Amino acid sequence: MEPTHLPLQFLKEEEKMFQESVQEFAEQKVKPLVATMDRDGVVGPGLIGQFFRLGLMGVEIPEEFGGSGGAFFMSILAIEELSRVDASVGVVVDVQNTLVNNALLRWGSEQQKKKYLPRLATDTMGAYALSEPGSGSDAFALQTRAKDAGDHYVLDGRKLWITNAKEAGLFIVFATLDPGLGYKGITAFLVERDFPGFAVGKKEDKLGIRASSTCELLLGNCRVPKENVLGEVGKGYKVSIETLNEGRIGIGAQMIGLSRGALEAALVYAKEREQFGQAISKFQAIRFQLAEMATQLEAARLMVYNAARLRDCGESFVKEAAMAKYFSSSVAEDVTSMAVEIYGGYGYTKDYPVEKFYRDAKIGKIYEGTSHMQLQTIAKLILQD
């Protein structure tokens, strides 16, 4: 099917070339594996290595550390184009760039950057471990404890819903040194997969984005060197909040990408499927549905792009990021649902792509801050209270 594009003036020439290269890769290398990856719940063999070789796992990492030295906006384009084919691989690239790499670029010491950024750019996946069984929207009600043990810290606890955990070699883990201090006791730690006392637990069997691994983490007397504190002791809440603001734009990109995929599939089917002697695209009811889908998608896409541009310009973008995630995840649900309806009974089967887009869309309203939490953020900022 023919990919949809924004008019050229929305993208710089280098961005357009990058977008087209990722799109070509997604069509040729990812798309043939989508059904198998969804069925088996695992990213296709060799794909992650190809992400690294193409520079998609270190878009913003400076060239001196082996990265692409690109802008945040380039990460958004990559996430969108991959998610147009499979939101599972889109979120693999999303978490690596918007959460893990960004946290290290902003908060890492020079020693940490020299040690970890070259690995993250070339061969090591990262994961971001904040959520716990009793800590979701109340992200700072953490039970994972960190104890000062001289030249190292000892971490004990359990993390849940951790994206990329099965494949990751480096984890940003949030733990509290003193629950009595509330959010001021939280600290971020760089934990390597082979640190003593660290283990990746069971992989969740999910409704959507099934190829993306989501696992629990188990920390039992896990020893972490003191030089692996990310940022300052007691400032983990700041690391988390500011990184997630950027991550929400990435989720917005994932949502507009899968919405594009669903719309394109619906357009093709509506022109091919005949009822009452003509293509169903000739019926006003179908035409109006497609028009509504395209309009919602365009609005969501512009919101995501605007938030990403503001971030790259160094302007305030927290409200725009929350709006983009909130709106794009709602649009994704609507667009993918209408796509299934346009396919009719066929849309409800796994023989056609739209049922997967529909399943994948639901997570957008849940992770990296639920839709209700985005509305809370937006309301607080517009009311200034």
What whole-number distance in Å separates Cα of residue 238 and Cα of residue 183? 9
267 token code pair: 């357009």
Distances (CA, A) of 194 to 32, 87, 199: 34, 29, 8
Distance CA 147, CA 320 (A): 38
For residue 329 the two structure tokens come to 């995840």
Q: List for the chain the helix, strand, coil content (%; round to 5).
A: 60, 15, 25
Please tell me the distance from the alpha carbon of residue 290 to that of residue 298, in angstroms, as a whole number: 12
Report the C-alpha gap between 358 and 173 in whole angstroms: 31
And the tokens for 385?
Answer: 């209270």
Long-range own/partner contacts, residues 366-373 (CB < 8 A, 24 or more apart): 367/161, 367/163, 367/251, 368/244, 368/247, 368/248, 368/250, 368/251, 368/325, 369/137, 369/244, 369/248, 369/322, 369/325, 370/136, 370/137, 371/326, 371/329, 371/330, 372/137, 373/137
Amino acid in position 331: V
Residue 94 to residue 56: CA distance in whole angstroms? 9
CA distances from 128 to 26, 76, 140, 161, 258 (A): 25, 18, 14, 10, 23
Residue 192 catalytic? no
Cross-strand pairs, 172:
128, 190
The single-letter DSSP state of residue 151 is: S
CA separation (Å) from 339 to 4, 122, 170, 207? 16, 38, 38, 18
Active site residue ranges: 368
